[in-house]
């Protein structure tokens, strides 16, 4: 066995990242078994309360981003496995750690020549990686230059959680304030799986978002088939979503109103809280507008059905129409605050419907006509 690095960070970065966290998760599972032994009144190790606390771990290990640290750790694991192959004691390492070992024919490694044990150890780790990690080629449909696509994929995972009622589904909590998307309120208070994994919460650049998408699937402790199925579902959904350009066209034509509209969407359709995936922090006005346009688009894309999308877009258009009218008539109009009877309100609504005009126009005309009748010498435009 040689004292060297078996892993190339430049060529095997994905494998190193996965294996480091996978092996740390495996250690966590082993520590849980130790906990159970310590709690067992029949165990010879009972009574060591300090050890119980020492070995207790969370479900997911704390994420590590230093590849120097990860490389050294995976190198150490490779060397340890090589030593066990050399001593014909491979089972001592893996059986307590993970179920994946049962899919690997360990006996094939017992006849390894002594000078090749480290290479064989690396092959075992690569075999585990292949059984648990989506190949890099599966992400090639994601275009780093497509802001809308990247933001949709990353944002969807950013707010996703494992559906307790359907173990094969990764759901995501995003809806209008009226709860049209997800009816179960308990879904809204769950910690997103993305946060449980300890991934970057405020990724701003496309390459960082894609990197965290890959990290998400690598770290998610679930069978490979479920990971592939989830990624394929997101891909299929995107193919349908990208064809809907209603919000894209609207924000491009109404760029001067996007910041106002984003504030409106947050207050009226997002419980007065910016979505966890939103990132608008630039002090540059031009970048601020671009980030807000993307946020509006993503909010729209994440809605799960056409009814919600139509409701949102209609509300936005109405708000902008009212805002534009107010801006154009700010110097010639004034808000009045007065109560009228329900009978009068109903009559006003009926008049507006009959004449095909707004209630504001109907009310103004009635007032001005009555004033003109009392003071006929004054010419007043009632149109």
Bigger pLDDT: 146 vs 371: 146
Residues 148 and 127 in one domain: no
Query: Can you give the pLDDT at residue 193?
Result: 92
Residues 122 and 246 in one domain: no
pLDDT > 70: percent of the chain: 73
Query: Can you give the pLDDT at residue 86?
Result: 79
CA separation (Å) from 381 to 140, 255, 312, 352, 378?
65, 35, 37, 19, 10
Residues 42 and 176 in one domain: no
Residues 186 and 231 in one domain: yes
Q: Domain total for the chain?
A: 3
Bigger pLDDT: 76 vs 376: 76
d(CA 296, CA 294): 5
Nearest CA-CA partner of 217 in 129, 302, 276, 98: 129
For residues 149-164, average pLDDT: 92
Is residue 195 in a domain?
A: yes
For residues 177-183, average pLDDT: 44
Bigger pLDDT: 345 vs 326: 345
Query: Can you give the pLDDT at residue 55?
Result: 45
Predicted confidence band of residue 174 (pLDDT cuts 50, 70, 90): confident
Is residue 6 in a domain?
A: no
Give the global pTM.
0.75
What rounded mean pLDDT belongs to the chain? Answer: 80
Buried b vs exposed e over 101-137: b needs ≥16 C-beta within 10 Å?
A: beebebeebeebeeeebbebbbbbbeebbeebbbeee
Residues 286 and 163 in one domain: yes
The pLDDT tens digits of the residues spanning 204-244 come to: 899 999 999 999 999 998 889 999 999 999 999 999 999 99
Bigger pLDDT: 217 vs 177: 217
Residues 235 and 358 in one domain: no
What are all long-range contacts of 234-238, with beta carbons under 8 Å and residues at least 24 apart? Answer: 234/153, 234/156, 235/141, 238/149, 238/152, 238/153
Query: Can you give the pLDDT at residue 39?
Result: 58
Bigger pLDDT: 133 vs 361: 133
Q: Is the pLDDT of residue 58 over 50?
A: no
Bigger pLDDT: 209 vs 55: 209
Query: Can you give the pLDDT at residue 40?
Result: 59
Is residue 216 in a domain?
A: yes
pLDDT > 90: percent of the chain: 37
Is residue 84 in a domain?
A: yes
Residues 248 and 308 in one domain: yes
Is residue 5 in a domain?
A: no
Q: Is the pLDDT of residue 57 over 50?
A: no
Q: Is the pLDDT of residue 35 over 60?
A: no
Q: Is the pLDDT of residue 1 over 60?
A: no
Is residue 102 in a domain?
A: yes
Which residue, chain included where needed, has tokens 């970048």?
287
Is residue 7 in a domain?
A: no
Query: Can you give the pLDDT at residue 261?
Result: 93
Bigger pLDDT: 117 vs 133: 133
Residues 62 and 149 in one domain: no
Write down which residue in 105, 133, 161 finishes a domain: 133
The pLDDT tens digits of the residues spanning 66-87 come to: 999 999 989 988 888 888 777 7
Predicted confidence band of residue 270 (pLDDT cuts 50, 70, 90): confident
Is residue 63 in a domain?
A: yes
301: left (phi over 0), alpha (psi -120 to 50) or beta: alpha
Bigger pLDDT: 57 vs 232: 232
Query: Can you give the pLDDT at residue 158?
Result: 95
Bigger pLDDT: 145 vs 102: 145
Residues 240 and 172 in one domain: yes
Residues 179 and 312 in one domain: yes
Write down which residue in 74, 107, 133 finishes a domain: 133
Q: Provide the domain limits for residue 360.
A: 336-383
Query: Can you give the pLDDT at residue 97?
Result: 45
Lowest average pLDDT, out of 29-33, 209-213, 257-261, goes to: 29-33
The pLDDT tens digits of the residues spanning 92-128 come to: 555 444 455 555 556 666 666 666 788 888 988 898 8
Residues 382 and 263 in one domain: no
Residues 118 and 179 in one domain: no
Write down which residue in 316, 332, 348 finishes a domain: 332
A 10 A CB-CB count for 336 gives: 6
d(CA 120, CA 95): 18
Query: Can you give the pLDDT at residue 45?
Result: 45
- Most confident stretch, 42-46, 87-91, 194-198, 286-290: 194-198
Query: Can you give the pLDDT at residue 96?
Result: 41
Predicted confidence band of residue 318 (pLDDT cuts 50, 70, 90): confident
Query: Can you give the pLDDT at residue 115?
Result: 66
């Amino acid at each position: 066995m040689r004292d060297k690095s078996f892993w190339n960070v430049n060529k095997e970065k994905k494998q190193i990242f996965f294996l480091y966290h996978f092996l740390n998760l495996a250690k966590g599972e082993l520590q849980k078994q130790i906990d159970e032994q310590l709690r067992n009144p029949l165990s010879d190790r009972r009574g060591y309360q300090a050890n119980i606390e020492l070995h207790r771990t969370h479900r997911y290990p704390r994420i590590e981003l230093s590849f120097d640290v990860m490389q050294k750790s995976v190198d150490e694991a490779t060397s340890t496995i090589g030593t066990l192959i050399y001593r014909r004691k491979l089972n001592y390492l893996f059986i307590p750690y993970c179920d994946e070992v049962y899919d690997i024919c360990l006996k094939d490694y017992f006849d390894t020549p002594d000078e090749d044990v480290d290479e064989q150890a690396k092959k075992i780790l690569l075999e585990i990686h292949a059984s648990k990690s989506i190949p890099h080629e599966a992400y090639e449909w994601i275009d780093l230059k497509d802001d809308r696509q990247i933001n949709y994929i990353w944002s969807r995972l950013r707010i996703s959680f494992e559906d307790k009622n359907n173990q094969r589904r990764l759901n995501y909590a995003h809806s209008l304030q009226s709860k049209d998307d997800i009816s179960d309120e308990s879904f809204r208070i769950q910690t997103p799986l993305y946060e449980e994994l300890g991934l970057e919460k405020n990724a701003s650049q496309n390459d960082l978002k894609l990197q965290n998408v890959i990290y998400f699937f690598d770290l998610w402790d679930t069978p490979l088939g479920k990971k592939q199925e989830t990624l394929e579902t997101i891909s299929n959904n995107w193919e349908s979503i990208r064809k809907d350009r209603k919000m894209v066209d609207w924000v491009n034509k109404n760029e001067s109103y996007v910041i106002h509209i984003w504030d409106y969407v947050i207050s009226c359709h997002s419980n007065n809280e910016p979505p966890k995936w939103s990132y608008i922090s630039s002090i540059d006005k031009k970048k601020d507008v671009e980030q807000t346009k993307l946020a509006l688009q993503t909010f729209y894309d994440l809605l799960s059905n056409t009814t919600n999308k139509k409701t949102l877009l209609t509300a936005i258009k109405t708000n902008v129409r009212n805002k534009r009218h107010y801006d154009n008539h700010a110097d010639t109009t004034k808000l009045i605050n007065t109560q009228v009877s329900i009978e009068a309100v109903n009559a006003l609504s009926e008049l507006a419907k009959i004449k095909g005009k707004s209630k504001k126009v109907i009310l103004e005309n009635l007032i001005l006509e009555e004033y003109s009748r009392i003071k006929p010498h004054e010419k007043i435009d009632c149109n």
